[in-house]
Structure 1
Amino acid sequence: MPRSISRDTRLCMSLSGRPGNFGTRFQNYLFEALDLDFIYKAFTTTDLPAAIGGIRALGIRGSAVSMPFKEACIPLLDELDASAAAIQSVNTIVADNGWLKGYNTDYSAVASLLQSHGVPKDIHFAQRGSGGMGKAVASAFRDSGFRHGQIIARNESSGSALAQGCGYAWQADLGELRPQMLVNVTPLGMEGGPEANSLAFTAEQVEAAEWVFDVVALPVETPLIRLARGLGKPVITGAEVIVLQAVEQFVLYTGVRPETELIERAAAFARATQ
């Protein structure tokens, strides 16, 4: 029997420059499986203050926040959780009676994956990208005990600021540097984007590395991940990140933590049709 939507159904949403289907399918699958009176819908906007005002005024329970809004939304919120305040980047907004609080579940997801994959903390890594997601990733590395890092960003202002804040070095491009771990936190390789077939690092750079981490979630196998797997490198994928951070968002919205088996089914369903 189809789910019934009523005046009491609570709306959750997402704000993204490029809305995708993963979050919508993942969250709605869990809402239905757990018989929760919620519904989730993805949006984009050209008027961020009005969109955030709508969350507040309409009693929307919460919103995921993706590029390019993770930093720009901060002045429009009432409070930041420690996870967002520490890195000045928000990927989740939760509304309680008109009070908007920002969180960052990307940060916790990345920290969890570094631990579960057993990445050695004494390696030298290079991260390409210094935007909102870049802040979450670099901060997770720092707080997980990684001391030897390089931020690669053409934007000197944001790149050097992120590097300095995390205790790492900055340079505009990788050049002759050959780190043990390569981390992509740019849209390069993103499905549907103008650079969907692009690599964040050259084949020679990937071959020289020991680990590869691509935060791009769609496609599941990005060009960078395919190349790294083909070279026999251990990888961490954006597909793993997106599931972990989405689960934490679901918990923030509903107060319910799904069982692992249900999470796996929801993730498989969300990936089946993008």
Structure 2
Amino acid sequence: MSQGAAGNPTVAMIQAAFTHHQLPWRYINLEVAPADLPAAVHGALAMGFRGFNLSMPHKVAVIPLLAGLGESAKLIGAVNCVVRRDGAFVGENTDGKGFLTSLQTVIDPRGTNVVLFGAGGAARAIAIELALAGIRHLTIVNRAMDRGRGLVDALRAGTPTEVTFVPWSGNYVVPSDTQVLINATSIGLYAPEARVPVAVESLRPEMVVADVVFNPPNTRFLDEAAARGCTTLDGLGMLVNQGVIGVSYWTGVTPDAAVMRRALEQALGLAR
């Protein structure tokens, strides 16, 4: 359920999974005004919906309307995926889980030192999931000090991970012991030339560098990291894997991620 959801490529991606696995399901856009959210949630439950996704501005407002929250959704304080369990709706957050699944294809994050750019919704979801996955130390780098320190406080209160906040000004110099560097801001989204302010010379070949930006998938940030010999991870993986997790929650079937990625690339006009 979302406002202004028309043209959402997620529809094509998830419907492709249903078709591929011969599931007689439909994933549709429903535009719901904030004032109508309670009625929409109650109606979905009454009509037998197995679940749904939410976009802003509903991710927080939906929480009082649900029977419970998953562990990470509770810590993140936002829901993007609702699942029917035992006749009631439960809120989950699959954004961070999707990123973690993508990251695990190139590195086991347990015990690693991670630097995360940003402290907004995506960054918060990723930070929580990384902490729950057992990273050793997380450095939050953000321009807005209040938001950055707020995320640090949430992580310290809800997880055992060591966390540090660093105000972002100028080109950030990545510490040499960093194993994973993540851009969780919107810098570069639909803007191929946009530059993440990082000291490129501080990037080392042994680092994994990831970006949540999915269009274009090859951002300037990732291109600069690849030129320094880093292993790179684009934002399409996060988007696909959060969809995989949602479909699995709803149907009990683990869908083919490759099928979903092809459908997503086609919907975004990225297919070759």
Per the normalisation by structure 1, the TM-score is 0.78
Give CA deviations for 1:6-46 in whole Å, capped at 9, x if unaligned: xxxxxxxx53677664311111112222332322223555x
Cross-structure match for 1:170: 165
Partner of 1:188: 187
1:11 maps to none
1:246-265 → structure 2 map (5 Å cutoff): 246-258=243-255, 262-265=256-259
Question: 1-side partners of 2:26 and 2:63: how far apart?
Answer: 25
Q: Residues 120 and 103 (structure 1 numbering): CA distance in 2 closer, same or farther, change over 3 Å?
A: closer
Structure 1: 4+ residue segments shifted above 4 A: 16-20, 95-98, 119-123
**Counterpart code for 2:166:** Q
Which of 213, 231, 235 lines up with 1:234 in the alignment?
A: 231
What amino acid maps onto 1:27 in structure 2? I
C-alpha RMSD of matched pairs (Å): 3.0
Structure 1 residue aligned with 2:81: 92
- CA drift of 1:49 comes to 4.3
2:173–2:198 contact (8 Å) kept in structure 1:
no
SS in 1 for 2:53: strand
Match of 2:218 in 1: 221
Structure 2 residue aligned with 1:202, among 198, 202, 209?
198
TM-score (structure 2 length as normaliser): 0.78
Are 1:104 and 2:101 counterparts?
no
Find the aligned partners of 1:238 and 1:155 in 2 and give their Cα distance: 23
The higher-RCO structure (CA 8 Å, 6+ apart) is 2
**Separation in 2, partners of 1:43, 1:56:** 14
Number of corresponding residues: 254
Letter in 2 for 1:264: A
Per the TM alignment, residue 196 of structure 1 is displaced from its structure 2 partner at its CA by 5.8
1:137 maps onto 2:126 in alignment? yes
2:145 match: 156
Contact 1:56 1:98 in 2 (8 A): no
Q: Who is 2:266 aligned against?
A: 272
Give 3-state SS (helix, strand or coil) of 1:199's partner.
coil
**DSSP 3-state at the match of 2:216:** coil
Q: Aligned with 1:168: secondary structure?
A: strand
Name the SS of the counterpart of 1:200 in structure 2.
coil
Contact 1:200 1:224 in 2 (8 A): yes
**Paired residue for 2:13?**
26
Partner of 2:102: 113
After superposition, the C-alpha distances for 1:72-121 in whole angstroms (9 at most, x for unaligned) are 43234332122311332222012469843211222333333343312565
Counterpart contact for 2:209–2:232, Cα < 8 Å: yes
| Gaps in structure 2 of 5+ consecutive residues | 156-161
Q: Is the 8 A contact 1:95 1:101 kept in 2?
A: yes
